[in-house]
Amino acid sequence: MTELLSIILAAGEGTRMRSARPKVLHEVGGLAMVGHVVRAAQMAGASRISVVIGPDHDAVQSEVVRHAPGAVFASQLERRGTGHAVRVARSAFEAATGNVVVLYADNPLVTAGTIATITAKLDAGADIVVVGYTPDDPTNLGRLLTSDGKLLAIREHRDATDEERRIALCNSGIIGFRADTLRAVIDRIDNKNAKGEFYLTDAVELANADGRNVEYIEADKNEVIGVDDRSRLARAEAQFQELRREDFMRAGVTLKDPGSVHFSWDTEIGRDVTIFPNVVFGPGVKIADGVEIRAFCDIEDVRIGEGATIGPFARIRGGAELGKDVHLGNFVEVKKSVLHDGVKAGHLSYLGDAEIGARTNIGAGTITCNYDGVNKSKTTVGENAFIGSNSSLVAPVTIGDGAYVGSGSVITRDVEPGALALGRARQENKPGYAPKLKARAEAIKRAKSGK
């Protein structure tokens, strides 16, 4: 297999994003844009990745390393065009022996399939392969000048004639090179153009002048969308979500209202899962077969076992693990907890930093009091236990197998297996006392109002 080096250009500040963060760290589907591009390159077979970053872009470097620990970096101190940016990565391509594909960190929807198509054409004899597309509005975009299936040149909009501006096929910026071709042309690119920049696209005419084989492919316009402001970021997010929804439905997932369900880049869902409207999946969600997620749930960083039913209006997060046939009902929140097979929490509960044994029932209004203002502590409940409604379990505390906790209890000490725990004050009734309380309250109200 021919070696593939991917050079990812990620030095832009993204001033139109109006953000303190570098542009390429803004997220699509819960993943930084540069992360999407790195992953696409890896899936296409890139064995080496070089990323061109701007000064003080340590956060960009950290994000790249999270996905590609072996990536190398070059810093572009001046913004002098795409040709100059690639020159900055010279140490990477000087040693390349196969193919080099130049990608852009603000193209989060580029696919491994498109990159693989580029490399296949290079392996088949092309020296340069350019990715074009047909946008709805080509204004300000470079045009591909073609003839008989070959690419003759790329003309930037400012430098194009009126006739060239009528061409619909535009440049995405993504270009593949044979490594020796890149080395042969990169230093011959000049900046004699309207913007005074070094355009990587000039490599096309230089290669043609050398008698090299320059080809092009056409990608879907949505795949090569470049994100340079919040509006385009929203468009990229919408397109990402549409693609994910289609993928899941083809894989056997039922979406009751597809347009209202939002996925993350790494969401994993089994077969015969049903998802109701207005569900949001953050990063780190893995769902087994036969699960039902009802409306208005917010779910991230969780594993959900086979046959579970979740929601409506449930929130699960923080590395939670739910076993088979777990049932979480409306307004139940689970954080950093393990719920074993068959656990039920039907209504209005908070389970944080807890481990709940199999087939235990959690009554409505139950909370684990896991935070003392300084430390988080764990609540452990055994199997087949019953926690009565409106109970507070003050961690650290352990409730044994088969134990019962009476409704309204505040549990501060461990409960042995099979025991009944009651942690509430004895009820006292005072006949005829209610009218006196009401009269007192009304007197206080009159005193406050001055009447």
Angle of helix 33-43 versus helix 112-123 axis, rounded to 10 = 40
**What length is written for the chain?**
451
Supply angle C-alpha 258, 40, 244, rounded to 5.
5
Upstream peptide bond of 258 is cis (omega within 30 degrees of 0): no
Tell me if residue 362 falls in helix, strand or coil: strand
**Which uninterrupted H or E stretch holds 8?**
strand 4-10
Q: Could you confirm whether 347 is annotated as catalytic?
A: yes
- CA–CA separation, 415 and 421 (whole Å): 7
- CA–CA separation, 26 and 141 (whole Å): 23
Integer angstrom CA distances of residue 77 from 55, 85, 118, 129, 236: 6, 9, 30, 28, 28
CA-closest candidate to residue 33, choices 5, 9, 54: 9
Amino acid at 311: G
**Is residue 303 within 8 Å of 283, Cβ to Cβ?**
no
- CA–CA separation, 405 and 423 (whole Å): 8
- CA–CA separation, 281 and 299 (whole Å): 5
**Is residue 410 within 8 Å of 388, Cβ to Cβ?**
no
Pick the catalytic residue from 84, 327, 340, 347: 347
- CA–CA separation, 53 and 71 (whole Å): 12
Catalytic residues: 347
